[in-house]
């Protein structure tokens, strides 16, 4: 759809095109990650979850270290359409290989809406919402802000090169450490640093500061993400499907909330200030995790 975007937009209109792309993206990403997490939890020993999660999160990031740079080169020298076409080819290759995976166990799934909503554990649900806000801020709002600030695409590729390397290394160390010492301290440090990096990124004024705070986000984002996820996966071993669905529901509420907040802000003020506002808000909520997160059996141990 992105490759043929001009033809589709001329036929359906821009709003319907964005809706279709967004719907298919959420559907595909949701299905993939739900299956991915269920398979991962069902295949790993509970006491090794942190270190294995660090590895499985780090390998794609290391492999993708050059992807932002490659994407910026393709877009700069050719077009967005060529970048989309290369992405489609790579995704098809990766999807084809997945069909040859071995030792995939059949899992009995008994979904329960009450367990998915899980009203009894509000603190956990709030943390997932905050994580979702952070995902949207760093994965959607921040790249848009760089675009509006007229940062060259080739420079954006170099930025993500550094942060991906930092995330991969720190993520592996974080996962390994949580297996031995628990995740409480790492979550607090990661939340404080990652939240601060979002706030600082909102007020960047030079390429040096952009690089520094982007890399800072890779370091502390790795600490926060891997430590929280490893604690959650350990807790989820007894009821994998319902707990994974619970996580995905509240993550998407957080992501969706950031868009709901962004749209009216764009109409009330300039796009740049709207993006900055969302980035700062997400940074503050993430930073607050470092102050209010407590030890429990579900996320932080």
Instruction: Tell whether 280 is covered by a domain.
Output: yes
Q: Can you tell me the distance from the alpha carbon of 265 to that of 206, in angstroms, rounded to the nearest whole number?
A: 25
Report the pLDDT value the prediction gives residue 113, as an integer from 0 to 100: 92
Q: What is the CATH number of the domain that holds 166?
A: 1.20.1250.20
Closest CA to 134 of 231, 245, 222, 38: 222
Instruction: Find the domain containing 194 and state its range.
Output: 5-292
Length of the chain: 301
Name 46's Cβ contacts closer than 8 Å, sequence gap at least 6.
Answer: 234, 237
* Residues 156-164, mean pLDDT to the nearest whole number: 71
Q: Can you tell me the distance from the alpha carbon of 138 to that of 221, in angstroms, rounded to the nearest whole number?
A: 10
Number of domains comprising the chain: 1
Report the pLDDT value the prediction gives residue 41, as an integer from 0 to 100: 79
Residue 238: exposed, middle, or buried by beta-carbon count in 10 A (0-12, 13-18, 19+)?
A: exposed
Q: Which of 77-86, 109-118, 133-142 has the lowest mean pLDDT?
A: 77-86
Task: Convert the pLDDT of each residue in 290-301 to its tens digit.
Answer: 887 877 766 666
Instruction: Tell whether 301 is covered by a domain.
Output: no
Residue 73 pLDDT exceeds 90: no
Q: Can you tell me the distance from the alpha carbon of 63 to that of 60, in angstroms, rounded to the nearest whole number?
A: 5
Instruction: Tell whether 189 is covered by a domain.
Output: yes
* Residues 174-179, mean pLDDT to the nearest whole number: 85
Report the pLDDT value the prediction gives residue 298, as an integer from 0 to 100: 65
Q: Can you tell me the distance from the alpha carbon of 139 to that of 155, in angstroms, rounded to the nearest whole number?
A: 17
CA distance readout (Å), 191 to 66, 128, 246, 284, 288: 27, 13, 21, 10, 8
User: Which pTM value belongs to this model?
Assistant: 0.80
Instruction: Tell whether 278 is covered by a domain.
Output: yes
Which tokens belong to 280? 């700062």
* Residues 117-130, mean pLDDT to the nearest whole number: 91
Q: Can you tell me the distance from the alpha carbon of 53 to that of 27, in angstroms, rounded to the nearest whole number?
A: 24
CA distance readout (Å), 294 to 60, 118, 253: 31, 18, 22
Long-range CB pairs of 88-97, under 8 A, 24+ apart, other chains included: 88/3
Instruction: Tell whether 297 is covered by a domain.
Output: no
Instruction: Tell whether 300 is covered by a domain.
Output: no
């Amino acid at each position: 759809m992105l490759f043929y975007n001009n033809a589709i937009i001329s036929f359906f209109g821009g709003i319907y095109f964005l809706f279709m792309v967004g719907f298919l993206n959420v559907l595909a990403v949701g299905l993939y990650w739900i299956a991915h997490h269920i398979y991962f939890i069902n295949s790993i020993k509970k006491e090794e979850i942190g270190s294995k999660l660090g590895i499985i999160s780090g390998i794609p990031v290391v492999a993708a270290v050059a992807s932002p740079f490659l994407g910026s080169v393709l877009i700069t020298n050719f077009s967005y359409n060529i970048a989309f076409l290369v992405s489609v080819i790579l995704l098809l290759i990766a999807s084809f290989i997945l069909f040859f995976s071995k030792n995939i166990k059949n899992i009995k799934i008994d979904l329960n809406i009450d367990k998915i909503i899980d009203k009894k554990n509000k603190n956990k649900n709030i943390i997932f919402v905050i994580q979702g806000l952070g995902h949207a801020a760093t994965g959607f709002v921040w790249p848009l802000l760089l675009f509006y600030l007229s940062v060259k695409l080739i420079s954006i590729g170099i930025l993500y090169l550094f942060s991906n390397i930092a995330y991969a290394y720190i993520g592996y160390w974080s996962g390994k450490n949580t297996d031995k010492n628990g995740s409480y301290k790492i979550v607090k440090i990661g939340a404080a640093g990652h939240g601060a990096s979002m706030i600082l990124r909102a007020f960047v004024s030079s390429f040096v500061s952009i690089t520094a705070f982007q890399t800072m986000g890779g370091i502390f984002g790795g600490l926060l993400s891997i430590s929280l996820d490893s604690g959650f996966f350990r807790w989820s071993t007894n009821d994998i499907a319902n707990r994974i669905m619970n996580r995905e529901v509240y993550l998407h509420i957080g992501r969706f909330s950031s868009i709901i907040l962004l749209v009216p802000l764009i109409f009330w003020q300039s796009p740049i200030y709207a993006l900055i506002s969302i980035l700062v808000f997400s940074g503050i909520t993430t930073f607050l995790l470092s102050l209010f997160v407590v030890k429990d059996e579900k996320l932080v141990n």
